[in-house]
């Protein structure tokens, strides 16, 4: 792959070409370029990008990439900036390509149960529109109120409902993608089945803007179910017991739509943030929801499992207050200080071991790591709280120990946030040399000039990310 960072005259030429071609859609306003230096990861680039281009169509994106390719100017695609791995951060000399204005819902089909949307459509906006047709969009990231469908696809976002309905990949039918050369292609199928050639749509899902820029998607929708939702709440003073209850629930064949675990540290922070003086401190919370025609029966079966293990259990319809409590985790962490929100996943049978490892790492590095988990998936979100503006060395040392522990337990560095900038230094350790090399070669096929999100996911050999 070629390096970039060419002479300032070349960058000026690229900027002039963009301005000539796209006019007002190209911004060099410091408010826009400064905002593009950061996302929700807490990381901030060393300086402002060359410009921010607010694309309004697939052809706009193609124009940007043709100019970028000819001038070898790097391009970083960006949606709502809600990423937690630094994947959409713009740095000096880079074009930030914003898709936020490409926010049209083009079609909703009740016959085929799909929606055709532009990449900048907000997740919750799609869901609201689908519900008017008796349908809904299953991917349910915590950022659904502001994250975009294109960003969900680019990171293969998950969320609270993955245990029953899967991650974003399961909802993607076909994609319109602009390649590094500016060529526009469509990959995937609008049909339920289709196995002609390699599944390039699946390859682009989770590729974090390194293979091409997703501008439009056909996504599967599900029919709304009007049956009451049932919620089961379990509490215990032992996180390990709650983790065992998760394993027992899955092993018994129970069918929760949602299965979340909040360790005592996380629950205490949320209680303080919400001023919930009615909740005792030091308690681990386990929350499940069931839906569909058998929701009540499924809920009672789960409650019996938890009671049998010794949890205190409450059961009832709806209880959106409990879900709101879980969704308050991120603002509660922001209120507590600066936070590094991490994202590891382990086999569900290793949840107890992973929570035990987190407690050991807290003691070893003298850090606080409140943790919530999409427990039904084995996906944990440990949160490292620190007073400094950026995560100091001992926080990254603790994160390093946590990542290595997750991989040693048969897990992965990231379940849904992506690699981005912040986890790129650990990628090769998980993949191994041969797979790491093969994946870099795939990247080179799609992006031979290495202009698409360079420095993210795949680092040049011997180079560490600027953390």
In tens, the pLDDT along 194-212 reads 999 999 999 999 999 999 9
Same fold, 8-101 and 105-223: no
Q: What is the pLDDT of residue 3?
A: 39
Q: Residues of the chain with pLDDT > 70: what percent? A: 96
152-173: average pLDDT: 94
298-318: average pLDDT: 96
Q: What is the pLDDT of residue 318?
A: 80
Q: pLDDT-derived band of residue 320, with 50, 70 and 90 as boundaries?
A: confident
Q: What is the pLDDT of residue 5?
A: 43
* Third-level CATH fold of 230-408: Vanillyl-alcohol Oxidase; Chain A, domain 3 (3.40.462)
Least confident of 71-75, 221-225, 461-465: 461-465
Separation CA 289–CA 307 (nearest Å) = 16
Separation CA 426–CA 342 (nearest Å) = 13
Q: pLDDT-derived band of residue 1, with 50, 70 and 90 as boundaries?
A: very low
Q: What is the pLDDT of residue 445?
A: 97
304-325: average pLDDT: 94
Q: What is the pLDDT of residue 157?
A: 92
* CATH 3.30.43.10 at 8-101, yes or no: yes
Q: What angle do CA 436, 440, 441 make, to 5 degrees?
A: 115
Q: Which CATH architecture has domain 105-223?
A: 2-Layer Sandwich (3.30)
Q: Which residues on neighbouring strands pair with residue 262, listed in sequence order?
A: 285, 372
For the chain, the distance separating the N- and C-terminal CA atoms, rounded to the nearest angstrom, is 23
Q: Residues of the chain with pLDDT > 90: what percent? A: 85
Kindly report the number of other CB atoms within 10 A of residue 2's CB atom.
10
Query: Taking the domains of the chain in order of start, what are their residue ranges?
Result: 8-101, 105-223, 230-408
206-231: average pLDDT: 96
**Position 21 pLDDT exceeds 80:** yes
Give yes or no for a contact between 209 and 178, defined as CB atoms under 8 angstroms apart.
Answer: no
282-306: average pLDDT: 96
Model confidence, pTM: 0.91
Q: pLDDT-derived band of residue 97, with 50, 70 and 90 as boundaries?
A: very high
290-296: average pLDDT: 95
Give yes or no for a contact between 87 and 71, defined as CB atoms under 8 angstroms apart.
Answer: no
Q: What is the pLDDT of residue 421?
A: 86
What does the mean pLDDT of the chain come to? 93
- CA proximity to 384, closest of 42, 96, 19, 37: 42
Q: What is the pLDDT of residue 4?
A: 44
Q: What angle do CA 351, 353, 359 make, to 5 degrees?
A: 105
* Digit-coded pLDDT (tens) for 393-409: 999 999 999 999 999 99
């Amino acid at each position: 792959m070629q390096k970039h960072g060419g002479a300032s005259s070349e960058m000026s030429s690229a900027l002039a070409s963009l301005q000539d071609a796209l006019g007002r859609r190209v911004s060099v306003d410091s408010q826009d370029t400064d905002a593009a230096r950061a996302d929700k990861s807490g990381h901030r680039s060393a300086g402002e990008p060359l410009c921010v281009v607010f694309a309004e169509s697939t052809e706009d994106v193609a124009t940007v990439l043709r100019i970028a390719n000819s001038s070898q100017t790097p391009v970083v695609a960006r949606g709502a900036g809600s990423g937690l791995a630094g994947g959409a951060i713009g740095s000096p000399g880079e074009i930030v390509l914003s898709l936020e204005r490409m926010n049209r819902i083009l079609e909703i089909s009740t016959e085929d149960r799909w929606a055709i949307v532009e990449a900048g459509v907000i997740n919750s906006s799609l869901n609201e529109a689908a519900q008017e047709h008796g349908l809904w969009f299953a991917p349910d990231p915590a950022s659904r109120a502001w994250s975009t469908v294109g960003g969900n696809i680019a990171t293969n976002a998950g969320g609270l409902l993955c245990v029953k309905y899967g991650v974003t990949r399961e909802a993607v039918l076909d994609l319109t993608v602009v390649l590094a050369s500016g060529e526009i292609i469509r990959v995937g199928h609008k049909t339920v089945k289709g196995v002609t050639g390699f599944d390039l749509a699946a390859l682009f899902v989770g590729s974090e803007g390194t293979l091409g820029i997703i501008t439009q998607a056909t996504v599967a929708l599900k029919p709304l179910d009007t049956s009451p939702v049932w919620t089961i709440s379990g509490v215990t003073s032992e996180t390990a017991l709650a983790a065992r209850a998760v394993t027992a629930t899955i092993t018994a064949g129970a069918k929760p739509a949602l299965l979340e675990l909040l360790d005592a540290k996380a629950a205490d922070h949320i209680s303080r943030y919400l001023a919930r003086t009615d909740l005792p401190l030091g308690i681990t919370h386990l929350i499940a929801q069931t839906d569909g025609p058998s929701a009540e029966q499924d809920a009672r079966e789960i409650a019996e499992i938890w009671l049998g293990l010794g949890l205190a259990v409450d059961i009832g319809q709806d209880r959106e207050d409990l879900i709101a409590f879980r969704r308050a985790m991120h603002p509660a962490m922001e209120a507590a200080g600066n936070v590094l929100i991490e994202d590891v996943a382990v086999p569900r049978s290793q949840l107890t071991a992973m929570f035990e490892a987190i407690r050991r790492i807290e003691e070893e590095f003298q850090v606080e790591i409140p943790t919530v988990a999409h427990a039904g998936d084995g996906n944990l979100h440990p949160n490292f709280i620190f007073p400094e503006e950026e995560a100091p060395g001992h926080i990254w040392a603790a994160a390093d120990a946590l990542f290595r522990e997750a991989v040693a337990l048969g897990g992965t560095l990231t379940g849904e946030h992506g690699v981005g900038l912040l986890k790129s230094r650990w990628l090769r350790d998980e993949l191994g040399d041969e797979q790491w090399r093969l994946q870099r070669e795939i990247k080179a096929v799609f992006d031979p000039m290495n202009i698409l999100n360079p420095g993210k996911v795949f680092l040049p050999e011997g180079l560490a990310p600027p953390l």
